[in-house]
A = this chain, B = another copy of it.
Amino acid sequence: MGERAVVAVDVGGTSVKAALVSPDLTPLRALRRPSSRVGGAVALGPIADLIGELAGGADVVGVGVAVPGIVDDATGVVRAAVNLGWTDLPLRDELAAACGLPLRVGHDVRTGGLAEFTVGAAAGARNALFVAIGTGIAAASLVDGRLVAAGGYAGEIGHVVVDPAGDTCGCGTVGCLETLAAAPALARRYAALTGVERTAEEICALLPDDPAASRVWADMVEAMATALHTACTLFGPEAVVLGGGLSEAGTALTGPVAEALGRRLTFQRRPSVVRAALGQDAGRAGAALMAWDAAGISPAVAG
């Protein structure tokens, strides 16, 4: 047995990623497997096997599991995860029983937020917002030093209405933030203007010279600023951390969003607007933080 370690797991609809992680959050070994399905639902047995494989020969003291959907972090029950085929699954208890290890379950975006709030771009803040912008848009909130879960219902900033006269969202509401600012919305709106199919990443690469790219990007920025204005009005973050695929744009995203948000704020606290520091590693780092917490051990990270 070497140094104590934890296992960090990220469960997705197509693959399950797991890593053995040291107390300073360094990945020691990582595995990735296709998600095994039984009757449409992602099966737990292979996930437990993956954890066991990583734990073999190591002194593993805890497990953290990040999951998409409506997840009650407090009880580890997944109320609904459409992509995984799960409804009211007591994931924490079932997986802990299978592994025989202290185990914690968290929503994937809140898990990423936990990492950004602890060792990432908002380390040290007591009130902060992490917004993951990708295929969808969701947020994790740190309020008074605590991660907000609200029984799994918190953080659906992608469905804050920003344009009541706009497009209908997949959720059935008109004008949600996702209809203007998620990656598929950028692609759809660019195609509508130009007839050309491009990904959000490609559209970003065309800035600032392509007028259609500039237009959909500017609309995305204004929509983000409108939703963030509301979040600032309701719980006054000191820092807004932008993550997810679109945050790869860096200051082409954070600069205009900070400017547009600053224009909207009056009496509210004015937050810094920064890019996520951990990128694709946020989920693993957050799951590892949950795992150390499950084990009752403080990880060796600067807080």
Could you list which residues of chain A lie within 8 angstroms of chain B, going by C-beta atoms? 74, 126-127, 139, 141, 143-144, 146, 148-157, 159-161, 164, 171-173, 226, 229-238, 264, 266-269
Query: Given B127, B149, B155, B264, which contacts A144 in the complex, CB threshold below 8 Å?
Result: B149
Query: Given B146, B151, B159, B235, which contacts A127 in the complex, CB threshold below 8 Å?
Result: B151
A178 to chain B, nearest CB (A): 11
Given contact pairs A229-B161, A233-B160, A144 touches B150 in the complex (Cβ within 8 A): yes
- Residue numbers in B under 8 Å from A154 (CB-CB): 143, 234-236
CA distance A126 to B151 in the complex (A): 9
A-B pairs, 4 with minimum CB distance: A153-B236, A150-B236, A172-B266, A153-B269
Query: Given B148, B159, B237, which contacts A143 in the complex, CB threshold below 8 Å?
Result: B148
Is A159 touching B233 in the complex (CB atoms < 8 A)? yes
**Most chain B CB atoms below 10 A, which of A150, A154, A164, A269:** A150
CA distance A156 to B236 in the complex (A): 9
Is B144 touching A144 in the complex (CB atoms < 8 A)? no
A182 to chain B, nearest CB (A): 15
Is A266 touching B126 in the complex (CB atoms < 8 A)? no
Is A150 touching B161 in the complex (CB atoms < 8 A)? no
CA distance A85 to B164 in the complex (A): 39
With both beta carbons as reference points, the residue of chain B lying nearest to A169 in the complex is identified as: B266
A235 to chain B, nearest CB (A): 5
A-B contact pairs, 9 of them (CB 8 A): A141-B235, A144-B146, A153-B236, A153-B268, A157-B234, A159-B266, A161-B230, A231-B234, A234-B234
- Residue numbers in B under 8 Å from A230 (CB-CB): 160-161, 230, 234
- Residue numbers in B under 8 Å from A159 (CB-CB): 233, 266-268
CA distance A126 to B153 in the complex (A): 12
- Residue numbers in B under 8 Å from A238 (CB-CB): 151
- Residue numbers in B under 8 Å from A156 (CB-CB): 233-234, 267-268
